[in-house]
Structure 1
């Protein structure tokens, strides 16, 4: 689409043109594009912002402008200066990992310095402060995605910078911080810096639990390439970083620290998951934690088998995308903003606009559907049957992208990155130097024939 439109300005750039010619380098263009998209996401919440997310008539759902940020500010004691995990008071426990809680508290303290007046006015300013912070995380995400794509394919990052998911989901919650840290960890791995990879991954896990599953694709590429030391070093620094962030809170406020883990352990089937649709239709699954975990582990085992049996070593981003997708599909809850977890991985695993558009169409439809479904609490909104259809549609759209990525692994000629002449994986780090797996010799080929 971009290539065709460029005909008006003289045609697409030739293959030998330096990508950084002129002031408007790919990075600057992508950051400018992402800035516009992120700003549109803030403008989309203008109606809720005018009312400080304080109306209790379903207006937040009608205008699809809901955000957790101002509600957490009011309901977790942050507006009163409470320290997360330590000061409990009459507020609900903070069900967030430690690094997210730290960001929430620092933002609240900064808000108290720059804003005064009513509680609603301070809640709006708190949202503004976090919108800027999350916007910076979004820009860092776009930059790291471009660097992970490699010098030959910088425009793959446009799939992130121009994504509607960045606008619609960017300020629902603090997920963009964890996504930026996890993507930065993958970039450190690609640059062969296992220490920094572990540090960033540990910080990401301390902000949101999902980055822990990225250790699986890192392990798979290392095992297939027989590279053990970088993997061991990465796992060790990840554990040390996570512990360094969590240990002070674990010692100072053990009950507050456990709130996040107890909340998720006790949580039943929730919005977005097919488990929730089954439960609402009278087909709830007993021992949901055991069943969902077993299916998740089985999916991870299938990804491992795929990685070892593929004719060529799969690219790291393909394995990372499949791993996080499996984690989401079988999880007990699938909130709208969780789509951001997949966004950079999908863009790098399958950098084709059509396939990304199919997946994101399902996410956008679900984004509006879940808010209209929640209007049911106000005697209007989307009925359960229609909501279940949107959950299924979202799942089907993701499974389409999963199927295409699996096909690319089994048939490397279909992989857009390798079809572009990129022989090695630009994000594989140490595994990129591993020799390709050579097929067994045929009857007409001598055993000692050169590859």
Structure 2
């Protein structure tokens, strides 16, 4: 007989009780709900349930995001209005740059700098807008294209949060971290990242529901939109290895590879040069703004600690892009190996979202390119991995500071500096540091699972699917003893972790 699920046995989460930051804020309205307070009758059919409130808050955030981008929607970007109003969006710029305004079919008539599913998405919305513009010349094609994309991307964002709510039925307020995020406000429609985010989150949901074929299909399509959803397969491999659940993993992986090939092969065969544009661009791109390599290059120049005249190691890497590529890939690979070791040696098998967040964060930390909208990749993962408001808010403040500094840097690129270069580097460093701190906090909770608030509500891993509650392979404990790792706690993976005692104010 199978063990009862978490939903049947464990109490729902109340943020004002479980989250120290929210508990502190609640003091302004009298503190957390008391033990003898009259609670709403959950059995009644109430319209304003927590999921509906969260989705409503997300719709409000997306509406404000549309307003924030509205000064740029007509495409009349005179006097750098796209930078002074912080409203630049690739969606509108690339409508013209990729030839969609001329009716060019992506890849066939013009090389596209994105993976094929994103290219298909651009064409699916851009070509009908162009046809409509041919029929009605008075319409602003760029504005129509942007708004069509904003509508679909917003729907994908809502769908993503709905999936997070489905994954955290007993912790619905966790999704409010996503819904109220200023990161969504300023970057939701900068690019097409919500397409990949929705596919990735749907893939995690399918895995949680023990549908490995659907999970692989969605992650494969996500990887064909933006590469990072395929990274989730790495944590799945190590977790399945530790839990002796390899067949579902291989099924998901084979399906992901097949899905990726199905959507890529037609373009790769018929329009190889256009298809290679994405790979060539990523191979040739130098150090980009705001990355750890950019910070290092600035310090090279500032401190003049070069190994050859006044040229430091980061400047040398900037001039030798192939070496930079190999070093970036190597460091990312080493970080992934460290995450795998952490997974195998942790006292309790980590949750999927925790490892996925660490892998994607490591990729960004060591990448030579970190575009402003890439922050969206981390948002759903941190909500699932570590739904603590305080640290996420600190990270969000750093990201918004970088967002403002980035636009100032764009204005300065026109020849008239707006802020000192050191200010931009400081904003970039704070963003990098806060992401690293989040990684450290997630690692801490993997090593000390009693600190993981999700495990206070769920027995094991609500995203784990076939991994949820599964025993470890027999070689895990001997390996940990051989390496003299701290002994495993008495509780097994089917026992909820008791939260540490709440300090008395």
Distance 1:407 1:263 in 2: 37
Q: Aligned to 1:398, which of 435, 438, 443? A: 435
Q: Shift of residue 26 of structure 1?
A: 2.5
Distance 2:394 2:43 in 1: 29
SS state at 1:45 partner: helix
SS state at 1:314 partner: coil
Distance 2:65 2:350 in 1: 35
Match of 2:272 in 1: 254
Match of 1:107 in 2: 125
Q: Shift of residue 422 of structure 1?
A: 2.1
Match of 2:49 in 1: 25
Across the aligned residues of Structure 1 and Structure 2, the Cα RMSD in angstroms comes to 2.7
Q: Shift of residue 11 of structure 1?
A: 4.3
Contact in 2 for aligned 1:204/1:211 (Cα 8 Å): yes
Match of 2:408 in 1: 372
Match of 2:193 in 1: 175
The 3 A distance-change label for structure 1 pair 275 and 21 is farther
Matched, 1:133 2:152: yes
Distance 1:115 1:131 in 2: 18
The 3 A distance-change label for structure 1 pair 267 and 28 is same
SS state at 2:105 partner: coil
Distance 1:60 1:450 in 2: 56
SS state at 1:433 partner: coil
Match of 1:212 in 2: 230
Match of 1:77 in 2: 99
Task: Please list the CA deviations of residues 30-86 of structure 1 after superposition, one character each: whole Å capped at 9, or x if unmatched.
Answer: 21111000111110112222xx23324322111111100111001111001000111
The 3 A distance-change label for structure 1 pair 40 and 8 is farther
Contact in 2 for aligned 1:218/1:316 (Cα 8 Å): yes
For residues 36-55 of structure 1, the aligned pairs below 5 Å read 36-49=60-73, 52-55=74-77
Distance 1:22 1:103 in 2: 38
Distance 2:42 2:396 in 1: 32
Q: Shift of residue 155 of structure 1?
A: 1.4
Task: Please list the CA deviations of residues 220-277 of structure 1 after superposition, one character each: whole Å capped at 9, or x if unmatched.
Answer: 2101101010000000000000111111111221111111111111111112211123
Q: Which structure 1 segments of 5+ residues have no match?
A: 443-448
Distance 1:238 1:132 in 2: 28
Q: Aligned to 1:313, which of 333, 349, 361? A: 349
User: TM-score, normalising length from structure 2?
Assistant: 0.81
Contact in 1 for aligned 2:244/2:472 (Cα 8 Å): no
Distance 1:439 1:270 in 2: 44
Q: Shift of residue 115 of structure 1?
A: 4.6
Q: Shift of residue 129 of structure 1?
A: 0.5
SS state at 1:144 partner: helix
The 3 A distance-change label for structure 1 pair 358 and 21 is farther
Contact in 1 for aligned 2:57/2:180 (Cα 8 Å): yes
Q: Which structure 2 segments of 5+ residues have no match?
A: 1-15, 17-21, 302-313, 482-489, 493-505
Q: Give the aligned length.
A: 437
Match of 1:303 in 2: 339
Contact in 2 for aligned 1:54/1:120 (Cα 8 Å): no
Match of 2:141 in 1: 122
Distance 2:464 2:210 in 1: 9
Distance 1:296 1:316 in 2: 19
